Amino acid sequence: MSLLVVGSVALDSIFTPFGETADALGGSAVYFSVAGSLLHPVQVVGVVGDDYPVHELDALTDRGIDWSGVERARGESFRWKGKYSYDLQSRETLETRLGVFAHFQPKIPAAFRAAEYVFLGNIDPELQLGVLGQVQRPRLVVCDTMNYWIQGKKAALLELLARVDVLMVNDSEARELSGDWNIHRAGRWILDRGPSRVVIKQGEYGALLIERARTFYVPAFPLEIVYDPTGAGDAFAGGFMAYLARTGSLAEDNIRRAMVYGAAMGSYAVEQFGIRAFDRISLADVEARVRAFQDLTHVQLAEAVP
């Protein structure tokens, strides 16, 4: 079951109350694939400039990440610089330099077109639609988006929604897209636009899986130390998709399990700066954390109230 991600490959400079990084590997496709590759090989499509430290990507190939779909364009790589508030609850973008990303036109290599699991990272919805025109017959298409596209490319985004299986966004995006502050009504509004499922990420609280008849909630892992929230959502997506690709089942129960694997990856992402947390995580670690997630909400009810 091949798994494809299309998204940004960036260089992040991040300031948090606990430290900073400069020009560190980042971007949605990088977080997605570093997390996802713990469970399943990942094919990446993106673009970098001629200043990108490609050897750092190459060093990750052994994890099962195929970077052959990452185009090397002439010019500067996508750079993002951001600063988090003291409580990590909000962040300010200090600088965005799109560089070669401004003209990114995803070209899916022939070897990737049969991908069965496709994640469309947060890029222009017109480009996301373009990707769907290049892949053959995916079993599952999940997409992300952001307020910038909701405001500026709503028609294309709605066209995209009619063609994807799952929209995965954070709560402010779901609210802005639907125009409804109630997150459950917002989810229903999105379901009415096409996707059969909506995943709504709620940061330190957890994530919701909203389906027509049922809702599932996975809390965030209780962490006393959080260093850097960057990339948590993409790591979540990587864990979610890679678990599904690994297990090959889209049954409702398996989608719930995938939510827990996603939440586990999101929890690792925030424990260190950038992608570093994934350096030393093994599959056994992931398994242990997934079991800890289960304990977090475990309650055994009596047959009837005593």
- Catalog residues that contact a second copy under the rule CB under 8 A: 39, 86-87, 89, 181-185, 188, 202, 204-206, 208, 210, 214-219, 222-226, 243, 246-247, 253, 256-257, 259-260, 283, 286-287, 290-291, 294-302, 304-306
257, with CB counted inside 10 A (0-12, 13-18, 19+), is: middle
Cβ neighbours, 10 Å, residue 225: 8
Measure the CA–CA gap between 131 and 137, rounded to whole angstroms: 12
Of 95 and 253, nearer to a second copy (C-beta) is 253
Q: How far is the CB of 305 from a second copy (least distance, A)?
A: 6
Q: How far is the CB of 278 from a second copy (least distance, A)?
A: 16
N-term to C-term CA, the chain: 48
Q: Report the phi/psi class of residue 9: left, alpha or beta, with left for phi > 0 and alpha for psi in -120 to 50.
A: beta
Of 112 and 227, nearer to a second copy (C-beta) is 227
Q: How far is the CB of 66 from a second copy (least distance, A)?
A: 21
Q: How far is the CB of 8 from a second copy (least distance, A)?
A: 28
Q: Where are the beta strands (DSSP E) in 171-290?
A: 197-201, 206-210, 215-219
Integer angstrom CA distances of residue 207 from 139, 231, 232: 23, 15, 12
DSSP character at residue 275: T
Task: Give the helix/strand (H/E) hosting 244.
Answer: helix 232-247
The answer to whether 43 and 2 are in contact (CB under 8 A) is yes
Of 26 and 239, nearer to a second copy (C-beta) is 239
Q: How far is the CB of 297 from a second copy (least distance, A)?
A: 4
- Residue 159's contacts (CB-CB under 8 Å, 6 or more residues apart) are 125, 129
Measure the CA–CA gap between 99 and 48, rounded to whole angstroms: 9
Tokens 């700066």 sit at which residue? 273
Q: How far is the CB of 229 from a second copy (least distance, A)?
A: 12
Of 148 and 205, nearer to a second copy (C-beta) is 205
Structure tokens at 57: 């990507």
Of 243 and 273, nearer to a second copy (C-beta) is 243
Of 48 and 198, nearer to a second copy (C-beta) is 198
Q: How far is the CB of 294 from a second copy (least distance, A)?
A: 6
Residues 175-191 as b or e (16 or more Cβ within 10 Å = b):
bbbbebeebeebbebbb
Of 112 and 221, nearer to a second copy (C-beta) is 221
Of 168 and 258, nearer to a second copy (C-beta) is 258
Q: How far is the CB of 65 from a second copy (least distance, A)?
A: 19
Residue type at 206? G
